[in-house]
């Protein structure tokens, strides 16, 4: 049985934790990655933590499926691509839930140069339930990712979640006996997810500083 871990903030592999949760966040600082919300089956309703998280950020974009009741890996992945194209250029961080995690993993396999900087995968659905295990990547997803699971998720066992996290190169957190980490299991507000968003944006800001410093150094040299 996989060991239960309860870290204060899920962090992408190789990165330290970021700042604490604040109040409603407006548009990110110039050049900061925007937030992409990728729901699972039946969309995440108004009481779901993904809807709560979307309301915390004015720059958040939500992937809308034509049919949330029909889990079609290709079509769901295409909708991710369409949402990014419609929103214009720029970097993103993605927060996916359940079947949305599978759609995102499939999308990243097809689009390794996608502008998604980091991803948070919460309670992925078991690919074998849909006959999709062989269609998903069995290697790293090409950017830092964090996977959050539970000990009693009816959609994916903790052992399977750990296996997929290992394949994808994701940092892994097990929150214990919290079901599918959705509204039905008590996850309306989910501060842990918001702290991850703030931490990911903080990492992006730190990564941009050397670039800005180089530009300033060059300007003073001429």
| Domain membership of residue 87 as a residue range | 34-220
- How many independent structural domains does the chain possess? 1
Q: Phi/psi of residue 211, each to 5°?
A: -65, -45
User: Which of 17-26, 84-93, 167-176 is predicted with the least confidence, judged by mean pLDDT?
Assistant: 17-26
User: What residues contact 154, with CB distance under 8 A and at least 6 apart?
Assistant: 179, 180
- Round to whole Å and give the CA distance between 133 and 207: 34
Alpha helices in 89-190 (DSSP H): 99-110, 158-168
Neighbours of 114 (CB within 10 A): 20
- Round to whole Å and give the CA distance between 4 and 32: 33
Q: Could you tell me if residue 168 is inside a domain?
A: yes
- The proportion of the chain whose per-residue pLDDT surpasses 90, expressed as a percent, equals 76
Average pLDDT over residues 172-201: 96
Q: How confident is the model at residue 31 (pLDDT cuts 50, 70, 90)?
A: confident
> CA dist 41 to 57, 98, 217, Å?
23, 7, 50
Tell me: the pLDDT tens digits for 86-104? 999 999 999 999 999 999 9
The domain that holds 41 is classified in CATH as 3.40.50.1820
Q: Could you tell me if residue 162 is inside a domain?
A: yes
pTM for the structure as a whole: 0.83
Q: Could you tell me if residue 75 is inside a domain?
A: yes
- Round to whole Å and give the CA distance between 169 and 211: 27
Closest-CA residue to 33 (of 93, 78, 109) = 93
Q: Could you tell me if residue 129 is inside a domain?
A: yes
Q: Could you tell me if residue 181 is inside a domain?
A: yes
- Round to whole Å and give the CA distance between 209 and 51: 32
Continuous segment of H or E residues that includes residue 93: strand 92-97
Q: Could you tell me if residue 13 is inside a domain?
A: no
Q: Could you tell me if residue 17 is inside a domain?
A: no
Dihedral sign for Cα atoms in the order 51, 152, 77, 18: positive
Q: Could you tell me if residue 20 is inside a domain?
A: no
Question: How, if at all, do strands 171-174 and 145-149 pair?
Answer: parallel
Q: Phi/psi of residue 216, each to 5°?
A: -65, -45
């Amino acid at each position: 049985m996989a060991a239960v871990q309860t870290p204060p903030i899920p962090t992408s592999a190789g990165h330290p934790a970021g700042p604490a949760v604040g109040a409603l966040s407006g548009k990110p600082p110039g050049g900061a990655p925007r937030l992409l919300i990728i729901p699972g089956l039946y969309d995440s309703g108004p009481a779901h933590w993904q809807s709560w998280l979307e309301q915390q950020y004015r720059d958040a974009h939500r992937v809308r499926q034509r049919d949330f009741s029909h889990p079609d890996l290709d079509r769901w992945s295409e909708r991710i691509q369409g949402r990014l194209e419609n929103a214009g250029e720029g970097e993103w961080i993605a927060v996916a839930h359940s079947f949305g995690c599978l759609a995102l993993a499939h999308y990243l396999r097809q689009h390794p140069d996608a502008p998604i900087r980091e991803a948070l995968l919460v309670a992925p659905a078991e690919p074998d339930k849909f006959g999709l295990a062989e269609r998903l990547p069995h290697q790293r997803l090409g950017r830092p990712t964090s996977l959050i699971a539970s000990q009693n998720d009816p959609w994916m066992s903790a052992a399977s979640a750990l296996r997929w996290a290992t394949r994808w190169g994701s940092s892994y957190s097990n929150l214990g006996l919290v079901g599918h980490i959705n509204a039905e299991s008590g996850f309306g507000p989910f501060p842990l997810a918001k702290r991850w968003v703030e931490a990911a944006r903080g990492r992006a800001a730190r990564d941009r500083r050397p670039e800005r410093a180089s530009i300033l150094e060059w300007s003073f040299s001429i």
